Chains A and B, each alone.
Chain A
Amino acid sequence: EIMLTQSPGTVSLSPGERATLSCRASQSVSNSYLAWYQQKPGQAPRLLIYDASSRAAGIPDRFSGSGSGTDFKLTISRLEPEDSAVYYCQQYGGSPGFIFGPGTKVEIK
C-alpha cells in the first residue's frame, strides 16, 4: 500500500509570499493520480488540483501543482489571508481507492 508523507507539518508566512508544500509517495503514483485539497476549520475538504497539475473548476491561478513519480508539490504563489488552512495531498490507487496524506497547515502571519 502506498503511503504519503507531507512536509513541512506547519508553515507560517506573510501575505504575498510564496508557499511550497511537498507530498512524497512511498511508491510511484500511477499516471500522476495525485490531488490536492484545502480544508478550513469546520468545513469539508475542497478540491484544488487533480492529476498532479490541473486546477479544479473555480480555483484561482495562484494555486499550482507539479511533480510526477513519487514527488509532488503544491505552490501558492501569492498568499492571501483566506489561504490559511490545512492542505492534504491524496493519491488514487489500489482498493478501495483513495489515500490521503497527513496534511500541511498553512498559517498566515
Chain B
Amino acid sequence: QVLLVQSGAEVKEPGASVKVSCKASGYTFTSNILHWVRQAPGQGPELMGAINPGGGGTTYAEKFRGRVTMTRDTDTRTVYMELTSLTSQDTAVYYCARRASSYWALDVWGQGTTVIVSS
C-alpha cells in the first residue's frame, strides 16, 4: 500500500520557520516526483513546489522562492519542506503529494500537516 505520512501539527510565532516531513512507503521512493501543496482555511489548494527524490532537484513556485526549501533523505525515504519568515498568511494545511508515474496528476496524498502562525 502506497502511503505518505506527514509530521504533526505545528504552532509557530511570526518570523519563525517550520519544517514539515513526509515519509513515503509502499513504492520505489526515487521513482516519483513529490510535490508540496498548501491550503489556507476556506481556500483551494496552492502548489508550493516539487522535489525529485532521485537526484534531489527542486522547483519552487515564484510566490515561495527565497522562503521555501525542499530536501530529501533517501535512507529514510523522507522529504522535507521548510518555510521561513512565517506570517499569519502562512496558516494553512500543508500536504505532500506524489506525482503519478504515467500521467500528470497527484495520485497519492499525505494526511496533511496543520501549521498555525500566531503570536
A47 touching B105, Cβ below 8 Å? yes
CA–CA, A88 and B39, complex, Å = 12
CA–CA, A44 and B97, complex, Å = 9
Q: How many residues of A contact B (CB 8 A)?
A: 24
Q: How far is the CB of B93 from chain A (nearest CB, A)?
A: 8
Residues of B within 8 A of A51 (CB): 103-105
- Provide the B101-116 mask, 1 if CB < 8 A to any CB of A, else 0: 0011111011110000
Number of A-B contacts (CB under 8 A): 66
- On chain B, which size bracket covers the interface? 20 to 34
Given A44-B112, A50-B100: A98 and B107 interface contact (C-beta under 8 Å): no
**Residue of B46, B47, B100, B110 touching A97 (CB-CB under 8 A):** B47
Contacting B at CB under 8 A, from A50-68, are 50-51, 54, 56-57
Contacting B at CB under 8 A, from A8-39, are 33, 35, 37
Residues of A within 8 A of B81 (CB): none
Residues of A within 8 A of B44 (CB): 88, 100-103
B35 touching A98, Cβ below 8 Å? yes
Q: Which of B103, B104, B112 has the most CB of A within 10 A?
A: B104
Closest Cβ neighbor of A103 among chain B residues = B44
Q: How far is the CB of B43 from chain A (nearest CB, A)?
A: 8
Q: How far is the CB of A109 from chain B (nearest CB, A)?
A: 23
- Of the A-B pairs whose beta carbons lie under 8 Å apart in the complex, a sample of 11, sorted by A's number, is A44-B110, A47-B105, A51-B104, A88-B44, A90-B45, A92-B105, A95-B61, A96-B59, A97-B35, A97-B47, A100-B45
